[in-house]
Structure 1
Amino acid sequence: MRIIGGALKGLRLAAVGRGDPAARLRPTADRVREAIFNVLGGGAFEVEIEGAEVLDLFAGTGALGLEALSRGAAHATFVEQGRKALALLAENIARARMGDRATVLRRDATRPFPWARPPATLVFLDPPYGKGLGARALGAALASGAIAPGAVVVWEESGPQEPPQGFTLLDRRRWGEAHVTFLRRNPA
């Protein structure tokens, strides 16, 4: 795994290795990450990554949030609770030298969490596949005040997802086994 664009392009991220079988670590593949950022940078719902406030739910290794930081996001908050994932996330933030632009919340992403930053304008959501956790995590983030009106959500799952209440579908794409649903939070 590596960062594929921006100031940190080419930076190798920590190897997942065997990971933690119970955690089911499944980092977003480089080619899928590249495709996601190509969609975000073009098309009908262009997203301004430069200066964005990013929320990375079920952050795992942090590859999506770190990719956004590499491309000029102002700050990324990573929400993760898995022990192995947290160790990899900490190592990747250190490798990227982004400690001053990153916050790690060691929490369950499906429960409201403390939020002291401006609301996120770009949200990455990559829950364990097939467990129905994505909509719950979006609800928890909304309850926490962590998602700005108009924010774009990039939701990776094993199948296409329906937008929960308060969100509008922008697009759906599929790359291999990854189904990515793009949403926008409705205005308040």
Structure 2
Amino acid sequence: MRIIAGNYKGTTLFTPIGKETRPTSDRARQTLFDILMHAPWAGKKFMENAIILDAFAGTGALGLEAISRGAQKAYFFEKNVQTRQTLEKNIQLCRANSVSILYKDVLTPPLSPCSCNLLFLDPPYHQELIPIALKKLQQQKWILPDALIITETAINEELPINQSFDMINERKIGAAYLKFWKQNNIIE
């Protein structure tokens, strides 16, 4: 697994041993960032002004790819100790200094020091963690009103998102199902 583009292009990332972590494939990340860089609702300027939240961070590949492509800052949530050590090694390997690791479960986040406008939610498949995480992140002020949220689930996995988010794009890539969401103005 490697960083695909930007300042850290070609950097091979460490991956944890075992099956606790399922990193997003290079192919899925390439597709995700191609969409982000060329979509009318995102683009290069959006990426360069992005404040990232990489929930369920694992290796940090999504957040580090965004930082490599010019994002301003990234926050990583990772509760697994061994996986967090791998994440720390990857941050050091990339010499990424505009990042913060939160040693917490994203399902019990602290109050945000800085709201984010680009969120990656790529939890373990089939555990219905995304709706819970989104609700908690909203409550703790992690999500800006105009934020773009990208979720990754298994292809056959249902994703019941509340009415305050509209899906604006989707892609199936191998076993992964990427969905792109924007908040709307409906109050629940």
- Tell me if TM exceeds 0.5: yes
Given that residues 56 and 76 in structure 1 are in contact (C-alpha distance below 8 angstroms), is that contact kept between their aligned partners in structure 2? yes
The CA distance in 2 between the partners of 1:155 and 1:25, in whole Å, is 16
The CA distance in 2 between the partners of 1:55 and 1:15, in whole Å, is 20
The CA distance in 2 between the partners of 1:105 and 1:4, in whole Å, is 25
Query: Unpaired runs of 5+ in structure 2?
Result: none
Match of 2:106 among 97, 105, 109: 109
Aligned to 1:153: 149
Amino acid at match of 2:113: A
- Deviation of 1:160 (Å): 5.5
Given that residues 50 and 74 in structure 1 are in contact (C-alpha distance below 8 angstroms), is that contact kept between their aligned partners in structure 2? yes
Aligned to 2:125: 129
Given that residues 3 and 11 in structure 1 are in contact (C-alpha distance below 8 angstroms), is that contact kept between their aligned partners in structure 2? yes
The CA distance in 1 between the partners of 2:173 and 2:95, in whole Å, is 30
Deviations 1:76-115 (A, max 9, x none): 00011011110110000000111x2000011111123231
The CA distance in 2 between the partners of 1:185 and 1:85, in whole Å, is 30
Query: TM-score, normalised to structure 1's length?
Result: 0.91
Aligned to 2:174: 176
Given that residues 131 and 160 in structure 2 are in contact (C-alpha distance below 8 angstroms), is that contact kept between their aligned partners in structure 1? no
Amino acid at match of 2:30: E
User: Structure 1 residue 36 and structure 2 residue 27: aligned?
Assistant: no
- Counting only pairs closer than 5 Å after superposition, residues 47-62 of structure 1 correspond to structure 2 as 47=43, 48-62=46-60
The CA distance in 2 between the partners of 1:53 and 1:116, in whole Å, is 12
Query: Unpaired runs of 5+ in structure 1?
Result: none
Aligned to 2:93: 95
Deviations 1:144-179 (A, max 9, x none): 101101110010011363432321111121000001
- Counting only pairs closer than 5 Å after superposition, residues 1-40 of structure 1 correspond to structure 2 as 1-16=1-16, 18-19=17-18, 21=19, 24-40=20-36
* Cα RMSD (Å): 1.5
- Deviation of 1:15 (Å): 3.2
Given that residues 125 and 156 in structure 1 are in contact (C-alpha distance below 8 angstroms), is that contact kept between their aligned partners in structure 2? yes
How many residue pairs get aligned? The number is: 182
The CA distance in 2 between the partners of 1:105 and 1:93, in whole Å, is 13
User: Structure 1 residue 85 and structure 2 residue 83: aligned?
Assistant: yes
Residue identity over aligned pairs, in percent, reads 37
SS in 2 for 1:34: helix
The CA distance in 1 between the partners of 2:142 and 2:75, in whole Å, is 10
Aligned to 1:65: 63
Query: TM-score, normalised to structure 2's length?
Result: 0.91
- Deviation of 1:14 (Å): 0.9
